[in-house]
Chain A
């Protein structure tokens, strides 16, 4: 198992290198630069800035400098933030993203699985339909719509929860963003869970269990749950990746200091260092999450383990 994990980890290094290289050159070839904007700079000033950030050197040399720095753990400066470099910004934003994303992840998994089981047990009866409609709503309402609606209802009109901001990190500040983030994932997980559960409940070994006189409760918990979780587990990797890298929509609308907003803002600002920094960070995270999912898979499914 350890060897397997190590091997998986080593294969990610060339992948990472290719991603950095491709990303580096695509960024530089895209039109517009970090210092173009509403207020064009006099040529002398632009030259000074480019020299300051090594942008006046040949592209290949810049690439060598960048890769060299990354190998030494230096992600370089950010053009849109003078006082915090790329690594510092990621470090500062990460706790917020982990709290919000982590809470959303736990809630999505918990509620998603419960709703899925519930839907499977009440299949095609009214509780299933009610649940399915709520879930459908969660799926079709994009977060940029859901977030303002929640803000209006719970923040402005009812005044129950803060409309946005982090405050002092109290629970009430994270309720709305977590709800908005979790809802679509609850929806997806519950659909996966429902489908898998229905399938498992129809399989032979469950029929055997039933014929032995077991009740629905123990059947679901002891026998059906583990095999039915398989498709959900394969979805957890990407879901965790998405939630833990933060959501630009939720962070922007709720004004949260996480790292999600860097992904798009940095690209629009041609903030080369920040784009590459986030790509590296994102890749490492995804690779690690996939590794965890693979290990979980092996634990859940004996067939995977024996291979």
Chain B
């Protein structure tokens, strides 16, 4: 009797130990691709950002709406000339092994980021910092020349090349996270292995099965740990969006970070409120090759841009209702206001077609002498649908369009080498500023695939650099945007949407233009 009582007590104790982690709140996220790394200097995808941004935290971090708020820094001051930022770190912040997070960890991390030996593919995001670009390109070899200094353990000073209005936003990015200097120096490249890694964010990784999932658990040493509602997150690798939706329906996932667009109508009817589609700071556009006649003729370019019926692309061809793009900068970028737009935006489609036809004729293209062009896109169902639709619209002007698709690596390789007539491209904002889009059209920028080159545009962009008055700066950039549109530098088609499916159990998921939803702000109702 006594024996069996002991046994049941033991069994109870064991089950209590076993049950308590099970009853912890676990969020299951369908995260898409396999992360390249957990090292913030080695990643570049949004699926990696979701994990890395939960386990590390920079001087600033994102609020539920993806706006910058204080992170590891409690406060900061900016010098009057806009060049020097001084950050004061919070008290009591520490790595998960208990070592304090110091200003030196930030200095170390940013030096490592721009060090050519690190080969960080996103290093250029911190080029606003003094000498970052020169060090990254190898023209300055002294890492100490970087404009970042730990004045003491709690105070960090960053000096910029020129005033950069979006710099605080850029500090929320994972390229600006601190690294545990003591671990990186002790373990080298192995520091990021799951058994070595220490982090300073609200969560810390405990398991990584490549091809399956990454698990993170709450970091009780985090300064805001008491407000964390979720104890553990599993980020699942699954690249097949239809399979992901099925697993969501079977209850495996609480959040899908992508869904098959052709299921949108079905989901709206059968799972109302769960698919969440929101404006995303990104532009889907076609590049025109300015070096190749007849596309060097502004009339030809405008005719091509005008004759696309953008209104039907989002609702009918993609089915998710992407908004038509008549500007180069998507609406809603910080410090910019309403973007400029094509002068012909408000004409009816019939009028646009008529005018486009007249412009083509003026350029010498008639039914007997049709314009023929090649439209390139990277292999993808949606790109194909759009290309086919746009080719049909251009056929109405008598243009002879041939479609050409290649896999993504080849596509971008050829765009970069300026091998194209018209080619599909897209851009998602790296930071919340119109400059990030307008910059794509500047002379000499590798991403300027079409090689648009306009002295006046370049001069205005140059002028906007370093302007301290944000209103004035926006005005100058908008003038530049208007020039790009009047010249039809490229053909904007639609603004991207983010596509998530969120279970009604998940609270605190706010739509935002950067599609960043840190677990810290989420809650999972039973």
A residues adjacent to B (C-beta < 8 A): 30-45, 47-49, 51-52, 80-84, 89, 92-93, 96, 147-148, 151-152, 155-156, 159, 162-166, 251-258, 261, 268-270
Contact = CB atoms under 8 A, between A and B. Distances in A.
A252 B409 CA distance: 21
B186 interface: no
Which residue, of A49, A83, A163, has the highest number of chain B Cβ atoms within 10 A?
A83
A36 B210 contact: no
A40 B39 contact: no
Contacts of B36: 80-83
Contacts of B409: 31-34, 36-37, 268-270
B243 A33 contact: no
Interface stretch (B81-89, B133-141, B498-506): B133-141
Contact of B39 (A82, A252, A261): A82
B92 interface: no
Contacts of B142: none
Given A37-B408, A37-B412, A165-B252, A257 B209 contact: yes
A261 B121 CA distance: 25
What is the predominant secondary structure among interface residues of chain B facing chain A? mixed
Contacts of A96: 211
B141 to A, nearest CB: 13
B247 A255 contact: yes
A54 to B, nearest CB: 12
Contact of A38 (B38, B136, B236, B412): B412
A163 B252 contact: yes
A255 B426 CA distance: 28
A51 B116 contact: yes
B242 interface: yes
Given A83-B38, A261-B211, A44 B416 contact: no
B206 interface: no
B136 to A, nearest CB: 5
A270 B39 CA distance: 22
Nearest to A267: B407
B435 interface: no
Interface in B382-397: none
Contact of B414 (A31, A52, A148, A268): A31
A36 B37 CA distance: 18
B37 A52 contact: no
Contact of B212 (A47, A48, A166): A166
List the 8 closest A-B pairs by CB distance, nearest first.
A257-B211, A32-B409, A82-B37, A44-B137, A52-B119, A257-B212, A32-B410, A255-B238
A40 B243 contact: no
Contacts of B198: none
B211 A83 contact: no
B526 interface: no
B136 A51 contact: no
Which residue, of B37, B138, B210, B239, has the highest number of chain A Cβ atoms within 10 A?
B210
Which residue, of B38, B239, B250, B407, has the highest number of chain A Cβ atoms within 10 A?
B250
5 contacts: A31-B413, A45-B136, A92-B210, A163-B249, A257-B212
Contacts of A163: 243, 246-247, 249-250, 252
B44 interface: yes
Contacts of B120: 45, 48
Contact of B238 (A45, A155, A164): A164
Given A49-B119, A166-B212, A253-B240, A44 B138 contact: yes
Contacts of A252: 238-240, 243
Contact of A83 (B39, B123, B407): B39
Given A32-B413, A162-B250, A256 B212 contact: yes
A51 B446 CA distance: 20
Contacts of B250: 155-156, 159, 162-163
B124 interface: yes
A32 B412 contact: yes
Contacts of A41: 121, 124, 446
Contacts of A38: 408, 412, 425-426
Nearest to A30: B410
A31 B416 CA distance: 12
Given A164-B238, A165-B247, A45 B121 contact: yes
Contacts of A255: 212, 236-238, 240, 243-244, 247
Contact of B136 (A34, A44, A155): A44
Interface string B458-473: 0000000000000000
A93 B34 CA distance: 13
B447 interface: yes
A93 B414 contact: no
B192 interface: yes
Interface string B191-214: 011000000000000001111100
A44 B135 CA distance: 10
B117 interface: yes
B210 A257 contact: yes
A43 B447 CA distance: 11
Contacts of B42: 82-83
Interface in B225-261: 236-240, 242-244, 246-247, 249-250, 252
Nearest to A80: B36
Which residue, of B243, B408, B447, has the highest number of chain A Cβ atoms within 10 A?
B243
Given A81-B210, A257-B209, A42 B446 contact: yes
Nearest to A34: B409
Interface string B398-415: 000000001111111110
A43 B446 contact: yes
A251 B243 CA distance: 11
Contacts of B252: 162-165
Contact of A52 (B117, B138, B407, B446): B117
Contact of A44 (B37, B133, B244): B133
Given A36-B412, A40-B412, A255-B243, A45 B34 contact: no
